[in-house]
Amino acid sequence: MVCSVTDASINETSRPVVDPSACFLWIMAAGTIACASLLQGPNSGTNYRQDKPIIEITAKRAVLLLVVASLFLILRFYFMSSWITWLLIVTFCISGSEGMHFCLVTIISRIFKDCRNNTVQLPLYGEVLTLSLGVVPFCTVFAILWAAYRHSSFAWIGQDILGICTMINTLQTERLPNIRVASVLLSAAFVYDIFWVFISPLVFHESVMIAVASGGVSGEAIPMLLRIPHFFDPLGGYAILCFGDIIYPGQLIAFSYRFDRAGKKGILNGYFLWLTVGYVVGLFLTYLVFFLMDGHGQPALMYLVPCTLGLIVVLGWIRGELPHLWNYGRRPENLVGEVEM
C-alpha cells in the first residue's frame, strides 16, 4: 500500500508555524533511508537463510506495482469493511515482525560476530542461526501487542518501529538497477500521487488518498504509515507520512550509495549525500505547502521526485556521468537497439 498524505486529519485547522512532529518525521524518514543504505552489502552480515535474495526492480514491475496500488486504493475506498481492515493489520504485523527480525539479526550479528557461527538444525528447514531463532518470539510478540493495543495513545510508537523495520527490509531486498528504471518508477509514482490526492476528487467527489489514509467513515486508519502526535497542538491529531514517500525515493538514494561505493567516490563528489539532502529539502517543501494550504493533504512525491530524481540527473549531467548512471549494470549487448523493459 502506498500513500502520500501528510495530514492525518480531515479537520482543516491552522497549525503552529514550526511543527515539532514534522521535524521528527523528517528525522525518521531520512534516518530510515540512511540506515537501509548503509546496511547494504553482499549479504546482511550472516551466512545462512537470513540472507534474502535481492529482487531487482524492472520497469514493468515498477508500473505494475503502481497499478496494483491504485486498484487497492479504489477497493479500500469503496469497501472500508472490518475484514479489509484486519487484512491490512495482519499484513502489517507480518511484514513488521519480519522486518524487525531482519534488522535485529543483522545489527547484532555485525556487532557480535561470533553469533554468525552458532547454528541449529531445524526439521524441514535446515541450518538456522541460533540468534535468528531466538529473535523470532520477541518480534512476533511485539507485533501482536501492537495489534492488540493499536487504539491506545502510545500505539504510534510501536507502529513507527514496525514500519521503519518494514521499510528497511524492503529497501534491502528490492533494489533499483540504474537511473533508467528509477525514472520509470518515480515518474509513475509522481503521477500516481498527484492523481489520487488532487485529481481523484473530480471523479470520486473526495480525495481517495486522504480518505483511505485517515480511515474514512470506518475511523480505522491504514497502518502503512509513520505517525507522530501533534504534541503542542491543542486540537491534537497526528502528523503522518506514508510508506511510499520513503520507499520510492529511498530506493533511488540506496542505489546512489551502491553507485558511490562501487566507484569509490568520496562524500562530496558522490551522490548519496546530495540525494539525502535533496530528500530532506523535498519533505520541507511538502510541509511548507501543507501549512500554506491550511492543512490540506499534499502528495509528497510531487516534491520529493524532483528533489531526488531531478537532482541526480542534473548532477550526473554536470559531471558527465549521466550515461553511466542510466545504463549502470546493463550488459553491453543490451545497449544496442531496443531493450526489453
Catalytic residues: 193, 245
Counting DSSP H helices and E strands in the chain, the numbers are 12, 6
Contacts of 176 (CB under 8 A, 6+ apart): 57, 182, 185, 251, 252, 254, 255
Residue 211 CB neighbour total at 10 angstroms: 24
DSSP-assigned letter for residue 7: B
Give the angle 259-261-263 at the CA atoms, nearest 5°: 70
Give the position of cell 486498484.
Answer: 71
Contacts of 289 (CB under 8 A, 6+ apart): 298, 303
Q: At what angle do helices 179-194 and 244-262 cross, to 10 degrees?
A: 160
Phi/psi for 138 (5° steps) reads: -60, -45
Determine the Cα–Cα distance for residues 327 and 220; give it in Å rounded to an integer: 44
Per the rule left: phi > 0, alpha: psi between -120 and 50, beta: everything else, 264 is left
Closest CA to 141 of 109, 100, 88: 100
Contacts of 38 (CB under 8 A, 6+ apart): 257
Instruction: Find residue 120's DSSP bridge partners.
Output: 128
CA distances (Å), origin 164, targets 32, 95, 161, 168, 312: 6, 11, 5, 6, 25
Closest CA to 298 of 174, 175, 179, 207: 207
Give the position of cell 528504471.
Answer: 181
Instruction: Find residue 128's DSSP bridge partners.
Output: 120
